[in-house]
Structures are given as structure tokens and as C-alpha cells.
Structure 1
Amino acid sequence: MPFKIYLTVMFNLGTLSDDNYTELKQYLQDIRSIRNSIQFPTDIQQTQYDIIDLSIEYLETILKTKFIDQTQLNEFCQQARHLFSVNIDLAARAQLDMLDTKMRPWYEERFNDTERNTLKILIMGSKTTRDGYIEKTYFYTLLGERQEGNHIIYVEDADNEQRALEILGVWLLDAKASARFFSGDSERLHRDVLADAGVAHIKRIFKASKSEL
């Protein structure tokens, strides 16, 4: 709700436009209806009502004044962020607790040390992960890894196990070829082919530019 409100008014600082006034007035009615009808689980109920009430209060203010004050908008966003952080913490805990309940016993009981050295974890997803993706972070910690590649692989655009295994096969083939051609560096072909030469030349370019000043 706060994001919806912010996105509606972010380019409308000052006098509220007629179109935004109409849209937000309807949205206020919708939120009030939700507030009176929806039920939340007891352990998260108060936070959700606080988010709704904060949104209602802010909408009532700007609809009454027909003016978007930047300071008030910033305060609204900060108050919303504080409430969001409660939900975010609960969501992260729930997801990781569920993952850990399944994965750690499987990892510790099923594999010996030798098998763990060759274990590959495939994390399937429909798009590139954002920095700090919690499933990656969990498996980094479980396997004692610092980065993706050796034991942990995020597989993009894979909506089934067969597709993920096909991508893994290509990954392993690249790793084997890379080790042969690049003095044992099995990760070299998993990076841009031009990466190392590019970094070296970029340094030369900017070093030359500085010397010309």
C-alpha cells in the first residue's frame, strides 16, 4: 500500500493533480474496505493493521490538503520502511527455517566428506538473482563457500529438473575444458572470455589518461 501511494505521488510534489486526487480517493475507499474485512494471522496481525492505518492516515491528509509535501512524504516512507522491516524479518526467518529443516539433515546425514567435495547444489530460478539472495547465502554457509561456481550454481530460466541438469552438464563441460586450456583454472570459461585482458587494458587506458593530465 505505501509503495502504491508513493508511486502515485512521487512526481506530483506540490499541488495534487485532479487525476491523482481521484485515483487516491478511490484507493482510500479500497483500503478502508480491506481494513474492515481482512483477517491476518495473530502473530503478524498488528503490523499489517499498522501499515494499513498509516496509509489511511497519510491519504486522508493529502486528500484534505490536496498538496504533497516532500517532508511529509519522506516521513511517511520512513515510517512504512520501519513497519516493512518487521515483515521482512519474519519472511526471511520463515523461509530460512523451512529450508534449514529440510537441507541440513539431508546434507549432514546423506553425504560423507568425500562426497561433499564433489557435491553440486543447483538453485533454480526464472531470472538473475539480486545481490544477497538468501538461498544462495544459506548454501554458501552450509557448504563453506564464498561464491557461486565450485559447488553452488544458480540456474536461470530453468522451470524443471531436466532443464537444470542440461545446464549443469554444459557448466561441467566448460569447467573441464577451462582447466585444460587455462592451467587448471576451471572457472575461467565461466567468466567473460575477454575479462582478464579487458581488466588489464582498462588499467592501461586510465593510467595513460592520468599521465596526460
Structure 2
Amino acid sequence: MSYSIVFKYLFVKRILIGLIVVGAAVATSYVDQQERAALPDLTSIEKLNQEFRHQYKQATETFWRSQIENGSVIMVNGNSITLFHKGVPSSSSQTSTAVYHYLKSIAHIPMTIRFLLINNSSTLMNNTLEQYWQNLNNLQIPESIQSKEKASVDHIVSKSQKLVRKEMDKKGSIDRKMLNNFCQSLTHDLTILLDAAAIAQLNKMHEIIQDWMREYNFDPKDPSLKVLIIGPRAAREKNLHTTYFERLLGDERTRNILYIE
């Protein structure tokens, strides 16, 4: 099944209020207080906009409180997920497992080497590279990593060891083209690891939500259920969390999925 993040009804009342709710909860409280204290000499337009911020915050808090008290709200913020069910917040849970962190950490190795060499190209001491090379040699691959991913892990680590060893022996200028080729040569392996990490996170999130459904006896198809996802602008469309909740809630309720930056 293919997914698409459709916000056709962005200015429908429910969505607009929802965006106001989360955006203000995240951003306006602190700014509102600071601006009132720090800007005594405001222009007329600044005064108008400051009053907007204040009223915006109050409207947000009122609506947000109503949603939590009367329905179910799932909030996702990075690796944290929290359920508010009829005014009772469950404890927040983490969706990132140990395997997720292992895979992401190994996937970061090629880019770490690139940054290490480029950022320190004029001052890099041999012992800096040697320490990183030793860390690569001492790396122990967790048994929880599956065979398909392990092959990519071995490939990334092996090529990284060779490159770092070569730079240690050369002690010369950094070849940026060579570094780019090095990273590009590992694209397939990186994709495998990042996909596996995403699946591990998705499985954990699904497990948490299934437990909530049994414990609180709520139906994900209930039209009153809201999902609030906090994330970066670049990931607004077709990101992991949004596509998951589209499938969970059903196509008819995608308007109940609110993404804020």
C-alpha cells in the first residue's frame, strides 16, 4: 500500500485549531513572557502582534485542555510517544530500541570520518585518527543485529578502517573527492541499516500503541482520536510516523493527524 500525507483541508476549522494548539504549546509560552518583559518600547505593529501572541497562547491552552479531557490524543515527539486518554496521561514511552541505536550509530561512521578529516584537515593530529581507528577495531557487533544488516555493518566498518589507516600513514592533505567517493560507495549499505532502524522503531511504536489499546480500551478508528506529531519541516511529508498513523486511523481520518514543526 502506498501512502501520501494529504493535508487538503488544512484550513478546516479542526485542523486550524489543532495547529494552533500544538504550535503555541511548543513555542509561544516562553516567547510571550520574554517579549513582554524585554521590549518596553514597542512600535504600534509590535504591540498588535504581541497581543496576538498572548491571545493565541490562551486560545491554544483552552482548546488543548478540552481535547485531552474529552478524548484521546497521541503525541509523538522524536523518539518519545505519549497518550492522553480522557484527561489521564500515560507515562511517556520511548520508541527507540537498542537495535535502533546500534544501527544508527554504525550508519553514522562514514560521515563521521568525512567530517573528522575535513573539519580538522589543517590541524589533525595523528593520535586523533589513531584513536578513532582503535575504536573501529575494538567495535563489537551486537548479536541482536540480523544477518542481512550485519553484512552491511561489516562492509562499512572494514572500508572505514582501511580509509582511516591510509590517512594515518599518508599524513598529507585531504582528498575531498576521495572522501565523497568513499561515502557514496557505502550508500547501499547505509540504506539497509537506516531502513532496518526505521522498522525497529516502527515495530516498537506499534507494540506500545497495541498495549494502550488493550489497557485503555480505545479504538484507533474513533473519529475523536487526535495524533500530534512534532518534527522538522523537511520531514513533514511521507515521514515514518505520519504514514504509520495514516494506516492505523484509516484514510478517512487523515485530517486527525496533525504535524507541527
Per the normalisation by structure 1, the TM-score is 0.53
Q: Which amino acid aligns with 2:133?
A: L
What number of residue pairs does the alignment pair up? 145
- Per-residue displacement from partner, 1:65-96 (whole Å, max 9, x unpaired)? 22322221111111233222111111122222
Query: Which position in structure 1 is the counterpart of 2:99?
Result: none
2:126 is aligned to 21
| 1:135 lines up with 2:241 in the alignment | yes
Name the aligned partner's letter for residue 5 of structure 1: I
1:6, CA displacement in angstroms?
Answer: 1.0
Is 1:64 equivalent to 2:172 in the alignment? Answer: no
Q: Which amino acid aligns with 1:152?
A: I
| CA offset digits 1:19-66 (Å, max 9, x no partner) | 2433112211222122xx454435143322222111101111222222
2:183 aligned residue: 77
- The offset of 1:134, in angstroms, is 1.2
Letter in 1 for 2:162: E
Q: Distance in 2 between matches of 1:58 and 1:112?
A: 50
Q: Which of 216, 219, 223 lines up with 1:117 in the alignment?
A: 223
Pair 1:97-2:97 in alignment: no
Q: 2:136 matched to which residue of 1?
A: 31
Distance 1:101 1:64, change over 3 A: same
Relative to 1, partners in 2 of residues 1:77 and 1:8: Cα closer, same or farther, differing over 3 Å? same
The answer as to whether partners of 2:156 and 2:186 remain within 8 angstroms in 1 is: yes
One-letter amino acid of the counterpart of residue 117, structure 2: V
Is structure 2 residue 257 aligned with structure 1 residue 152?
A: yes
- Gaps spanning 5+ residues in structure 2: where? 1-108
Task: Give yes or no for contact 2:136–2:161 (8 Å, CA) kept in 1.
Answer: yes
C-alpha distance in 1 between matches for 2:137 and 2:220? 57
> Once the two structures are aligned, what percentage of the paired residues are identical?
27
Matched residues in 1 for 2:130 and 2:202: separation? 39
Partners of 1:18 and 1:120 lie apart in 2 by 52
In structure 2, the residue matched to 1:53 is 158
Distance 2:248 2:163 in 1: 44
Alignment RMSD, CA only?
A: 3.5
Does residue 176 of structure 2 align to residue 41 of structure 1?
Answer: no
Whole-Å Cα distance in 1 between the matches of residues 198 and 151 of structure 2?
19
Q: Which has more helix, going by share of residues?
A: 1
Distance, in Å, in 2 between the alignment partners of 1:154 and 1:120 is: 11
Change in CA separation of 1:112 and 1:140 when aligned onto 2, cut-off 3 Å: closer
2-structure distance, mates of 1:68, 1:112: 54
Distance 1:146 1:24 in 2: 54
Structure 2 distance, partners of 1:84, 1:147, is 34
Q: TM-score, normalised by structure 2?
A: 0.45
